[in-house]
Amino acid sequence: MQPSRILQALQYRRLRLTTKDVNKGFYKGTRTGSMGRHTKYGGYVIEWHKVRTYVCPSLDGFKLTPFVTRKMEPTRGIYEGYKDGPKDPKLYLARWKAENGLD
């Protein structure tokens, strides 16, 4: 959407976009996705295959915390010989060959 020039001069784009700023058909959601569908009578049907279910894995014996001790500097990786560093697919393939090589 392109605001008119006067609105551009007013720094209109710095305001958040609402449904009143655009033509019809604009859906401003909450980035959360739907959990069902609307019926033609105005109701709403929950579709359970759409409803999110979060499964926490078992944390028994898991020792990591969200924090790392400050006595330790943030580590830097050593990726000598790889052009893209950690993002080099050659590194991935070489590691796969060395460690797994099965599936």
Partner 1 sequence: MAASAMRPSLSMGALGRIRMMPSAPTPPINPSLTQRATLSTSAARLKRHKYAGARDNRDHSKSRGESAMRGSGTRWRLSMSDEPLPRPVPREKLPPIATDPDHGLWDFFYDRERIVNTPEEDSKHGRAWSVEELRHKSWDDLHRLWWVCVKERNRIATANFERENQKLGFGEAEAKERDKEVLKTMRAIKHVLTERFYLWEDAVELAKKDPEVNLTGEGPAFTPKDYLEEADAAETPDTNAAASPDPAAIPSSTTQAEAPRL
Residues interacting with partner 1, by CB under 8 A? 56-57, 59, 62-70, 72, 74-82, 86-87, 89-99, 101-103
Least distance (Å) between residue 9 CB and partner 1: 36
Distance CA 16, CA 85 (A): 38
52's CB contacts (< 8 A; 6+ apart) are 33, 35
User: In this complex, which beta carbon is closest to partner 1, that of residue 48 or of residue 62?
Assistant: 62
User: In this complex, which beta carbon is closest to partner 1, that of residue 43 or of residue 81?
Assistant: 81
User: In this complex, which beta carbon is closest to partner 1, that of residue 37 or of residue 90?
Assistant: 90
Least distance (Å) between residue 84 CB and partner 1: 9
Cα angle, residue 48 at apex, residues 46 and 49 outer, rounded to 5°: 130
Least distance (Å) between residue 49 CB and partner 1: 23
Q: Which residues pair with 63 in a beta bridge?
A: none
User: In this complex, which beta carbon is closest to partner 1, that of residue 49 or of residue 63?
Assistant: 63
Query: Would you state the structure tokens that stand for residue 75, as one six-digit string?
Result: 């580590």
Least distance (Å) between residue 89 CB and partner 1: 4
CB-facing half-sphere around the CA of 39: CA atoms within 13 A: 7
Rounded to a whole number of angstroms, the CA Rg of the chain reads 25
